[in-house]
A = this chain, B = another copy of it.
Amino acid sequence: MAHTSHSMDEQAAPARLRNLPSRLLALTAMYADRVVSEGLAGADAHKWHYAVLVTLQESGPVSQAELSRRTGIYRSDLVTVINELADRGHVERTPDPTDRRRNVITLTEQGRRHLRRLDELIAALQDEVLQPLSEPEREQLTELLARLLLHHGRSLST
């Protein structure tokens, strides 16, 4: 039987390619993203939704521009995300009385409940992705990745 899906036989890739860090990053990221996206789709959610809900829970009500900065979602794309979350009743978009340019985005009670479910789901999905690694290895991996990102941020603000 032929395999139903994507992804080459990794064994077939030449060693020079197989150990190339940038390539490994790209492939694992793609894999992880698929797992997470498919998992979230089952709960009628999207990673962007999760990012916004989490940020709202930790920061309290904020403007869309602020959400954009904190989540990394472009403010143009954020419009759609907020629309979807508002349609589902997870979030409320109200004009800011103190600054009529802004909208204040507020997490609703229902959104809070939804987030609780997503938290569990996300945890399970991360677990699925990291399954072959031990706990210390997982921490090591996230720490290394975080260091790379930190360096990245520094390199463009100087």
- Interface residue A79 (Cβ < 8 Å from any Cβ of B): no
Q: Is there an interface contact between A14 and B58, defined as CB atoms closer than 8 Å?
A: yes
Chain B residues, CB < 8 A from A71: 8, 13, 17
- Secondary structure type dominating chain A contacts: helix
Interface stretch (choices A85-93, A94-102, A103-111, A149-157): A149-157
User: Closest chain B residue to A29 by CB distance?
Assistant: B29
Q: How many residues of A are counted as interface, with CB atoms below 8 angstroms from the partner's CB atoms?
A: 68
Please give me the residue from chain B that is nearest to A14 by CB atom: B58
- Smallest Cβ distance from A124 to chain B, in angstroms? 12
**C-alpha gap A55/B8 in the complex (Å):** 14
Given A21-B130, A22-B33, A156-B7, verify A70-B13 contact (CB < 8 Å): yes
- 20 pairs, A vs B, C-beta closer than 8 Å: A3-B157, A4-B156, A5-B156, A10-B149, A10-B150, A13-B72, A14-B54, A18-B146, A20-B122, A20-B126, A22-B125, A25-B28, A25-B33, A25-B145, A26-B33, A28-B29, A29-B30, A129-B148, A133-B147, A140-B140
Question: Which A residues have a C-beta under 8 Å from some C-beta of B?
Answer: 3-5, 7-33, 35-36, 47, 51, 54-55, 58-59, 68-72, 122, 125-126, 129-133, 137-138, 140-142, 144-153, 156-157
